[in-house]
Amino acid sequence: MTDKLPAHATELQLDSPVWERFFRPAPLVLIGTRDEDGITDLAPKHMAVPLGWDNYFGFVCTPRHQTWRNIEATGRFSVSYPQPDQVLFASLAASPRCDGDDKPVLTILDTFESPASAMPMLSKATVWLDCELDRIVDGFGENGLIAGRITAAYARTDAMRISDLEDETVLSKAPLLTYIDPGRFTVVASAQSFPFPRDMKK
What CA–CA distances, in Å, run from 45 to 59, 67, 162, 167?
Answer: 7, 10, 28, 26
Strand partners, 124: none
In a domain, 30, yes or no: yes
- CB of 122 closer than 8 Å to CB of 28: no
* pLDDT value at residue 97: 67
- H or E segment at 135? strand 127-140
Domain region containing 116 = 23-188
Please tell me the distance from the alpha carbon of residue 133 to that of residue 93, in angstroms, as a whole number. Answer: 22
Cβ atoms within 10 Å, residue 168: 13
* Mean pLDDT in residue range 165-184: 94
Domains: count for the chain: 1
Strand partners, 129: 79, 153
In a domain, 15, yes or no: no
In percent, how much of the chain has pLDDT > 70?
97
What global pTM score does this model have? Answer: 0.92
- Express each pLDDT in 62-96 by its tens digit: 999 999 999 999 999 999 999 999 999 888 888 77
In a domain, 175, yes or no: yes
In a domain, 87, yes or no: yes
* pLDDT value at residue 2: 75
In a domain, 103, yes or no: yes
Distance of CA 88 to the CA centre of its chain: 15
- CB of 174 closer than 8 Å to CB of 188: no
In a domain, 5, yes or no: no
Q: ∠7-13-19 over CA atoms, to 5°? A: 95
CATH number at residue 140: 2.30.110.10
In the Cβ-directed half-sphere of 70, how many Cα atoms lie within 13 Å? 21
pLDDT interval class at 100 (50, 70, 90): low
